Amino acid sequence: MNVCADKCINEANVKKTLGEMADQKEIVEMAEIFKALSDPSRLKIVLALLKREHCVCDIAAICQQSESAISHQLRILRTLKIVKNRREGKVVYYTLDDDHVISLIHYSLDHVKH
């Protein structure tokens, strides 16, 4: 079993780490992002948007799902600021929200391929 043989808490290290950790609100928000990305349908949408923007029709074709199902997933991703949209006439285009999301996805892909 991987436990300490003797209970020997390093108070200084524990205090330092606690001071450096994210606060509870940030931890909950991070967990929500990971929870959203843990769904294969949403992750596939994010991967589809990794290189270029797409409209709902394109994403539905790529993911082989209905436009309604894709719209529902995009709403969740938009709420969490994982994706953003822009309107061009009657068409709404989606992209990943920012470089942080792009980096997170690239790091995850690199880790899986390693």
Going along the chain from its start, the domains and CATH numbers come out as 11-113 (1.10.10.10)
Please write the tens of the pLDDT for every residue from 48-67: 999 999 999 999 999 999 99
The pTM score is 0.85
Cβ neighbours for 73, distance < 8 A, ≥ 6 positions apart = 39, 41, 42, 45
pLDDT digits (tens, 9 = 90+) for 14-45: 999 999 999 999 999 999 999 999 999 999 99
How far apart CA 51 and CA 93 sit, in angstroms, is 13
CA distance 7 to 82: 42
